[in-house]
Amino acid sequence: MSSHEDEKGGAGALEALFWSAERIAALPERPHVHQFNANAVRHTRSLGDLAGLTEMGLHLVRVEPGRDSTEHHYHGQDEEFLFVLSGRGEAAIGETTIKVGPGDFLGFPKGAPAHSMHVPAEAGEPLVYLMGGTRSPIDVCTYPKAGLRMYRIDGAKEYVSLSDLKKV
């Protein structure tokens, strides 16, 4: 037994903290359809939850050809990143579209331009990436193309049309 196991509760604790490639591959993927974009379908393995991370989400994500990763959006409080592991896609950042592939990194601090990704139907293979981000207790997420703003407060979500917002 290592000194780390002695300090943190033995082999059971190590099992929760270390996930081999084989264990990760054996995990079932959870399909997630974006609430504001029916074409945005991600197949996700939530690695951070398995390790007990509470202030950061960390997910292994697969997006099939012809699908979007999410609705075009930006966060007011949360920060997020993507690291492409395999496949090819197109990342829309603000009004600019760039091609992304293995080894590419995208980082979005709070208030960064709106962003989303699309995997072209002719890509021939899924886009696979590691996605992570903070889990602020309160976040305001704006979806400019959909004309919506979503508020998340301690896990509860509500949204409003941008056209209904009034300055105070």
Residue 159, H or E segment: strand 156-161
- pLDDT at 120 > cutoff 60: yes
pLDDT (0 to 100) of residue 10: 62
pLDDT (0 to 100) of residue 2: 45
Query: What pLDDT digit, counting tens, does each position of 1-25 carry?
Result: 444 444 555 666 788 889 999 999 9
CA atoms within 13 A on the CB side of 161: 2
Q: Strand (E) positions, the chain?
A: 30-34, 37-46, 56-63, 74-75, 80-86, 89-93, 96-100, 105-108, 115-118, 127-134, 138-143, 148-153, 156-161
- pLDDT at 91 > cutoff 90: yes
Average pLDDT of span 130-134: 97
Closest among 142, 152, 65 to 108, alpha carbons compared = 142
Q: C-alpha angle with apex 98: 95 to 100, nearest 5 degrees?
A: 140
* CA 89/CA 98 separation, integer angstroms: 8
* CA 24/CA 49 separation, integer angstroms: 13
* Cα–chain center distance at 88: 17
Query: What pLDDT digit, counting tens, does each position of 146-166 carry?
Result: 999 999 999 899 999 999 999
pLDDT (0 to 100) of residue 11: 60
pLDDT (0 to 100) of residue 9: 57
pLDDT (0 to 100) of residue 4: 45
CA atoms within 13 A on the CB side of 127: 31
Query: What pLDDT digit, counting tens, does each position of 27-60 carry?
Result: 999 999 999 999 999 999 999 998 899 999 999 9
pLDDT (0 to 100) of residue 15: 83
